[in-house]
């Protein structure tokens, strides 16, 4: 790890996970380098976990673009994030309906709210408004919270149905 400094949990990084700081490149996270989600965000359903990783990777690249004042890149990335997120939500909601998930309506409302926030963020990027890095970080925290709570509850439900028992 020459040239990189390991940062303790909760400092210098998003998501409050261990990260590595690479001089001149901003924060790079071990889980992004390893191309996998940290355990706290891993749901145990490979397809969903890969989609979440892709969302986080695009979002991280967008935050890096903000840090570099690269508005065209940030605009391109918000479009990609919106496309990936909408496709992910369609797939996830289909699974919920197929398995009669009792929390479907609440989960769907969270998805709708997240899409609205993404669209507002996209409009702000296009007009190059100030304060966008903070708005993007707020979105980032919202997404991580959603994965850690609502998606985790849905994954637990699915895994319990598959195994026919309770998952802890």
Q: What share of the chain is helix, strand, coil (3-state, %, to 5)?
A: 70, 5, 25
Per-residue pLDDT of the chain (168 residues; tens, 9 = 90+): 333 222 223 323 333 333 333 334 344 444 454 577 888 889 999 999 999 999 988 988 988 888 888 888 988 999 999 999 999 999 999 999 999 999 999 999 999 999 998 888 888 877 776 667 777 888 888 888 999 999 999 999 999 988 876 544
Cβ contacts of residue 27 below 8 Å, gap of 6+? 7, 12, 13, 14, 19, 20, 21
pTM above 0.85, yes or no: no
What pLDDT shows up at residue 44?
Answer: 92
DSSP 50-115: HHHHHHHHHHHHHHHHHHTT-HHHHHHHHHHHHHHHHHHHHHHHHHHHHTT-TTHHHHHHHHHHHH
- For 57, the token pair is 């990777």
Q: Enumerate the domain spans of the chain.
A: 1-35, 42-163
Fold of 42-163: 1.20.120
């Amino acid at each position: 790890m020459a040239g990189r400094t390991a940062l303790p949990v909760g400092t210098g990084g998003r998501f409050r996970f261990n990260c590595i700081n690479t001089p001149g490149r901003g924060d790079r996270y071990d889980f992004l380098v390893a191309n996998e989600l940290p355990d706290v965000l891993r749901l145990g359903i490979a397809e969903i976990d890969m989609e979440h990783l892709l969302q986080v990777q695009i979002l991280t690249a967008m935050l890096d673009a903000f840090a570099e004042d690269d508005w065209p890149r940030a605009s391109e990335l918000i479009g990609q994030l919106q496309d990936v997120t909408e496709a992910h939500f369609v797939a996830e909601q289909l699974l919920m309906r197929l398995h009669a998930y009792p929390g479907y309506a609440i989960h769907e409302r969270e998805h709708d709210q997240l899409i609205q926030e993404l669209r507002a963020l996209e409009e702000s990027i296009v007009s190059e408004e100030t304060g966008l890095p903070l708005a993007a970080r707020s979105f980032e925290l919202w997404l991580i919270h959603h994965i850690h709570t609502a998606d985790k509850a849905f994954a637990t439900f699915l895994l319990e149905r598959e195994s026919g028992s309770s998952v802890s």
